[in-house]
Amino acid sequence: MYKKSECLFESRFPALEYVLEEVVNENKKIIALTADISSRIVPRFVVNHPDRFFNFGIAEQNMFGAAAGFASAGLIPFAMTLSVFVTMRACEQIRTDIAYTNSNVKIIATGGGLAYGKLGSTHMGIEDISLMRSIPNMTIIVPADSVETTHAIREAVRFNGPVFIRFGQKENPIVHVNGLQKEFVIGKAIKLRSGNDISFIATGVMVSKAIEACNELKKLGIYASVYSFHTIKPLDKEAVLDAADSKYGLITLEDNNVNGGLGGAVAEVLGSEKPRPVKRIGIPDLYPVIGSPEELYKEYNMDVSAIVRTSMEMTKQDIG
């Protein structure tokens, strides 16, 4: 059942603020760090907790280095800014100061994927998941909606070690309209639909698209399973192998470069443990054109109709 605390916000940032408010009241060790972006992400936190909020200005390297310093004193810093600057401008600080030291820093990355499509490639976090995946000690969470967001933040607080939590668009449909049916466990995928023909392994904003595609396909007599892989690292191998039992194969869906992200991770598991046909839906290996996220999802065959098309091709090919 849906619980009030699961936040049926259509925007993720209010959900993030809501749950941050909850956890900071419970735990005095939690502080927030931003790089001149707090007014967009956590405006109320700044007002409510000025003593627990540290703005580092437009200086991401310093912010993530300082986050490691805060953590070494036993605090739990939530350091937040745009994903592209998190994962590239401060990549080495994250790798060396936070991951190598296994520091208890929670990284909130916004604008992942095509969310900032109108702002152009400088602001698109299209490589972030792939980059973070290659860093030892890093846990990567990409919530599908505001419900998963609230659970992800609470679990990240309980978890001791670096966690990268990635958000895409500010607004997005709620996947778990009735709340989570199972416990949210880091590293455990959530199965949302069951069908024997094809399996959708999706993450973040692509989960709701996978569900829509699943509904469309059902009308065509094709039955799909849908999994929300809110955790990309550590990957839920068991769920991948379970998904691999589908008749025609698997489709991975992510708002990230198709290379090295969720699709890559799934292909790695299947390649060594259970070879199966896999199609990877995601951002092609290029710098996208300008457009709204929805325009770009269509352009790069990531929208619902493209998912349906890809699924049908997959089933036909196999029947062939």
Partner 1 sequence: MASKGNMGKVYLEEKSKEIRRECLNMVMRAQSGHLAPALSCADIITALFFEVMNIDPANPKDENRDRFILSAGHKCLALYAALAKRGFFPEETFKTYVQFKSILGGHPDGLKIPGVEISTGSLGHGLPIGIGMALAARYLKRNYRTYVLLGDGEIHEGSIWEAASAACHYKLDNIIGIIDHNKLCADGPIDEVMSIRPLNKRWEAFGWSVIEIDGHNMDDIVSALKRVPLSKDKPTMIIANTIKGKGVSCMENKFDWHSKVPTAEQAKEAFKELA
Catalytic residue annotation: 60
**Which is nearer to partner 1, 56 or 167 (by Cβ)?**
56
211 part of the interface to partner 1, by CB under 8 A: no
Distance CA 168, CA 204 (A): 7
Query: Binding segment for partner 1 among 3-11, 73-81, 236-244, 304-312 (CB under 8 A)?
Result: 73-81
Does position 138 bind partner 1 by CB under 8 A? no
Distance of closest approach, residue 106 Cβ to partner 1, in angstroms: 14
Q: What is the CA radius of gyration of the chain?
A: 19
For residues 193 and 223, what is the distance between their CA atoms, to the nearest angstrom? 9
Instruction: Give per-residue burial for 176-204: e unless 16+ CB within 10 Å, then b.
Output: beebbeeebebbebbebbebebbbbbbbb
Dihedral angle, C-alpha 89, 92, 97, 101, nearest 10 ° = 140
Burial of 3 (0-12, 13-18, 19+ CB in 10 A): exposed
Closest distance of CB 274 from partner 1, Å: 35
CB of 138 to partner 1, least distance (A): 15
Min dist CB 64 to partner 1, Å, is: 8
Give yes or no for residue 183 binding partner 1 (CB under 8 A).
no
Indicate whether 25 belongs to the interface with partner 1 (CB under 8 A).
no
Residues in CB range of 180: below 8 A, 6 or more apart: 6, 147, 148, 151, 190
CB of 44 to partner 1, least distance (A): 20
Sheet (strand 224-228) strand order? 190-193, 224-228, 198-202, 249-257, 278-283
Euclidean distance between CA atoms 313 and 36, whole angstroms: 46
For residue 55, give the amino acid letter: N
Kindly write out the interface string for residues 32-71 of this chain, putting x where it contacts partner 1 by CB under 8 A and - elsewhere.
-------------------xx-x-xx-x-xxxxxxxxxxx
Q: 3-class DSSP state for residue 166?
A: strand
Phi then psi for residue 10, to 5 deg, are -80, -15
Residue 73 in contact with partner 1, rule: CB under 8 A: yes
- Chain mean position to CA 237: 17
Q: Which of 48, 102, 215, 305 binds partner 1 (CB under 8 A)?
A: 102
Q: How far apart are CA 87 and CA 136, in angstroms?
A: 14
136 binds partner 1 (CB under 8 A): no
In degrees and rounded to multiples of 5, residue 161 shows phi and psi of 150, 175
Shortest Å, Cβ 38 to partner 1: 15
Applying CB under 8 A, what is the total number of residues that bind partner 1?
30
With CB under 8 A as the contact rule, the residue among 19, 31, 107, 202 that binds partner 1 is 31
Q: Is 27 in the site for partner 1 (CB under 8 A)?
A: no
- Within 8 A by CB and 6+ apart from 91, the residues are 131
For residue 223, state whether it binds partner 1 (rule: CB under 8 A).
no
Question: Closer to partner 1 at the Cβ: 63 or 142?
Answer: 63
The verdict on 78 binding partner 1 (CB under 8 A) reads no
Residue 74 binding partner 1, by CB under 8 A? yes
97 binds partner 1, rule: CB under 8 A: yes
121 interacts with partner 1 by CB under 8 A: no
- Residues of this chain that interact with partner 1 (CB under 8 A) are 31, 51-52, 54, 56-57, 59, 61-75, 77, 92-93, 96-97, 100-102
